[in-house]
């Protein structure tokens, strides 16, 4: 069989893509006031390798942030205006959760250590489950790498949020709480996460098996929709599990170098038994060229 590629072989370096021109960024904006807030895990929920502690003060100037993650429709406008090809399209495959794979799609292997992630030929931002699937305009765009998100920002005259900006906005002015709405999960669903037995049975009690529309559930007190759950969100920073111990007070932007970029917020696959990262303080990372069916982004400006 002539496979489109091999996920175990890694992805070759991709030439830098120059984005020419400026496009409209139509997402509603949320204003975050300048403030000093306590960043990090005050509840003891995080695992040590994630580096969610120590809790430390961070002072930020005011900024604006997208009320929702960038949607499929927004990303389509970018692609239409520039002819941009995402890294998933260039490499010919992307990672799809095993229960979401289109039945007729060609699967070329599973990800090491996480066999529920399958390399699917033809999976990309417009075809999230495989080449025969169709992305829904009001859902968050997924299968975008950090590099793809950065390219969108260059076109839109925006940038990715720093990790500190992301957490400040997600907290919505409520200090030291586990979730955007408070310290506990409510009786009714407040975010799109996994229900059932991970990774084999999703009962979809919250109404969604994979992504939910970007404007779902109640926004936080600043007006952000789904900063936790639904999809992971790329941040500007390089990831380091020890950065919080040396982070400056004023407007931190992460370590100067690294191997992976920060992702925040968790996704529809988060479950306490496996990935308890649908929290304000939770952090993780992925390499800048990685694309998956549960990672998107939102943008900021000052």
Residue 88's domain is classified under what CATH number? 3.90.1580.10
The pTM assigned to this predicted structure is 0.94
Structural domain contains residue 230: yes
Domain region containing 242 = 27-39+54-301
Is 190:179 a contact under the CB 8 Å cutoff? yes
pLDDT in tens, 214-261: 999 999 999 999 999 999 999 999 999 999 999 999 999 999 999 999
User: What pLDDT was estimated at residue 14?
Assistant: 55
Structural domain contains residue 197: yes
* SS3 state at 166: helix
Structural domain contains residue 132: yes
- State the virtual CA torsion across 34, 36, 40, 41 in degrees, nearest 10: -110
Q: Which single residue is written with the structure tokens 């400026």?
A: 22
Structural domain contains residue 12: no
pLDDT in tens, 160-195: 999 999 999 999 999 999 999 999 988 788 999 999
Structural domain contains residue 212: yes
- pLDDT, the chain, mean: 93
Eight-state DSSP code of residue 204 = -
Lowest mean pLDDT among 61-65, 122-126, 146-150, 203-207: 203-207
As given in the structure block, the two tokens for residue 18 are 């120059």
User: What pLDDT was estimated at residue 13?
Assistant: 53
Q: How many domains does the structure of the chain reveal?
A: 1
Structural domain contains residue 227: yes
252/238 Cα distance (integer angstroms) = 12
Structural domain contains residue 295: yes
User: Which residues in 121-139 are b (16+ Cβ under 10 Å) and which e?
Assistant: bbbbbbbbbbeebebeeeb
Structural domain contains residue 6: no
pLDDT in tens, 42-99: 999 998 999 999 999 999 999 999 999 999 999 999 999 999 999 999 999 999 999 9
Residue 152 has pLDDT above 80, yes or no: yes
Helix, strand, coil content of the chain in percent (nearest 5) = 15, 25, 60
Eight-state DSSP code of residue 63 = E
User: What pLDDT was estimated at residue 274?
Assistant: 80
User: What pLDDT was estimated at residue 273?
Assistant: 80
Residue 1 has pLDDT above 60, yes or no: no
72/139 Cα distance (integer angstroms) = 6
């Amino acid at each position: 069989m002539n496979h489109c590629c091999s996920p175990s072989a890694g992805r070759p370096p991709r030439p830098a893509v120059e984005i020419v021109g400026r496009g409209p960024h139509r997402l509603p904006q949320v204003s975050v006031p300048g403030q000093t807030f306590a960043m990090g895990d005050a509840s003891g929920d995080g695992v040590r390798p994630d580096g969610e502690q120590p809790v430390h003060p961070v002072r930020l100037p005011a900024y604006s942030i997208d009320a929702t993650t960038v949607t499929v429709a927004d990303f389509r406008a970018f692609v239409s205006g520039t002819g941009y090809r995402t890294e998933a399209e260039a490499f010919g495959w992307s990672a799809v959760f095993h229960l979401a794979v289109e039945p007729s799609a060609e699967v070329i292997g599973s990800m090491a250590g996480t066999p529920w992630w399958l390399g699917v030929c033809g999976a990309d931002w417009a075809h999230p489950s495989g080449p025969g699937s169709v992305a829904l305009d009001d859902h968050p765009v997924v299968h975008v790498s950090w590099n793809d998100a950065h390219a969108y920002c260059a076109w839109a005259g925006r940038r990715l949020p720093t990790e500190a900006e992301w957490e400040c906005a997600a907290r919505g002015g409520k200090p030291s709480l586990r979730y955007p709405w408070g310290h506990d999960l409510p009786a009714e669903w407040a975010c799109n996460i996994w229900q059932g037995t991970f990774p084999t049975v999703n009962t979809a009690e919250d109404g969604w098996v994979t992504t939910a529309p970007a404007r779902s559930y109640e926004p936080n007190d600043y007006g952000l929709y789904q900063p936790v759950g639904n999809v992971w969100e790329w941040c500007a920073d390089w990831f380091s599990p020890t950065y919080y111990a040396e982070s400056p007070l004023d407007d931190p932007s992460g370590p100067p170098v690294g191997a992976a970029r920060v992702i925040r917020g968790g996704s529809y696959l988060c479950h306490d038994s496996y990935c308890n990262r649908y929290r304000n303080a939770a952090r993780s990372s992925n390499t800048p060229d990685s694309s998956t069916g549960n990672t998107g982004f939102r943008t900021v400006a000052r």
